[in-house]
Amino acid sequence: METIDKASLRQRLTPLQYHVCLEEGTERPFTGEYWNHHEAGVYACRVCGHDLFASATKYESGTGWPSFTAPIAEESVLEKEDRNLFMRRTEVECANCGAHLGHVFDDGPRPTGLRYCINSASLQFRQGP
């Protein structure tokens, strides 16, 4: 996230948004803005506005975090190995700015079998087709 001015993000983001996006934090389940959100539209990066996920791929995972079967485009996110908690997970970042979004697991539904488990705090929804 070298290209983003962290001081200005401190001003613009809530403390939780900052913690999740810049410090790889995780919001508490069932507390975020979007885990139970069902409108049609696009979820963009909270930091840079880059389009990340479409509502058509959102599904009820029961985890309390917004869950998607795929990003809006393959190149819209970056996936990185994450060993922070003594387990191997795959971290998901915004491909445009590097903001932390969440993790991807291989226990999702068809058609991809993937579960992109994403923090509401990393996202900004906009309605649309």
Window contacting Fe ion (CB under 5 A); options: 35-43, 77-85, 98-106, 113-121 = 98-106
Q: Which is nearer to Fe ion, 19 or 64 (CB)?
A: 19
Residue 47 backbone dihedrals phi, psi, to 5 degrees: -80, -50
Q: Most distant CA pair in the chain: distance in Å? A: 41
Identified catalytic residue from 45, 48, 94, 117: 117
Nearest distance, CB of residue 11 and Fe ion, angstroms: 17
- Beta strand ranges found along the chain (DSSP E): 41-45, 51-54, 58-59, 67-68, 77-82, 89-94, 100-105, 115-118, 123-127
Q: Determine which helix (DSSP H) or strand (DSSP E) holds 11, and give its type and residue range.
A: helix 6-12
Minimal distance, residue 48 CB to Fe ion, in Å: 3
Which of 21, 70, 72, 99 is the binder for Fe ion (CB under 5 A)?
Answer: 99
Residues 104-123 that bind Fe ion (CB under 5 A): none
Nearer to Fe ion, 60 or 96 (CB): 96
